[in-house]
Amino acid sequence: MRTFAFVPTQSWNKLYGWILNKYKRYDSVIDIVKISVLVFFLAVFGFVYLYFVNLASTRWYFLRQENQKLNTISFQFEILKIKMLDYKQQNRDAINSTSFKRDVVDVHAEIVRIPSEIKLTFNK
């Protein structure tokens, strides 16, 4: 039984030697290409990072401002509710009092409007 084994050592050696010679000859050009590719990727990733961080922080800033407006409006509404309860209590006390003169407090409600143009939700 005969076995045939082909080992092309000569062609691999020539190819490897050719690659080494080319690399040695254009060593500075290859280094410049490597550095420029690295700088390009760093610039792209830096731009993407700064863009999305800036976008997120801007949205967070405006969301925080709208939440402060909402808190102010809800605080005013709570004050009005307390005033209304106080007036109702005065009316109830005036009606249930034993005196002949009954003082009834006339309540003029203050209306708090939430602006319809301002969206108080966070939309993407």
Question: To the nearest 10°, the Cα dihedral for 72, 78, 84, 87?
Answer: -100
Q: Show the domain range for 48.
A: 10-96
Closest Cα partner for 90 from 104, 74, 109, 75?
104
- What is the number of domains present in the chain? 1
Domain assignment present for 30: yes
pLDDT tens digits in sequence order for the chain, 124 residues long: 667 656 566 777 788 888 888 777 777 777 888 899 999 999 999 998 888 888 888 888 888 888 999 999 999 999 999 999 998 988 888 777 766 665 666 667 677 666 666 665 655 5
Which residue is listed with tokens 């280094």?
31
> Does residue 2 lie in a domain region?
no
How far the first Cα of the chain sits from its last, in Å, is: 75
Q: Is residue 35 one of the residues assigned to a domain?
A: yes
The tokens for 45 are: 């990733």
111 part of a folded domain = no
Assigned domain for 110 exists: no
Candidates 88, 68, 65; CA nearest to 76 is 68
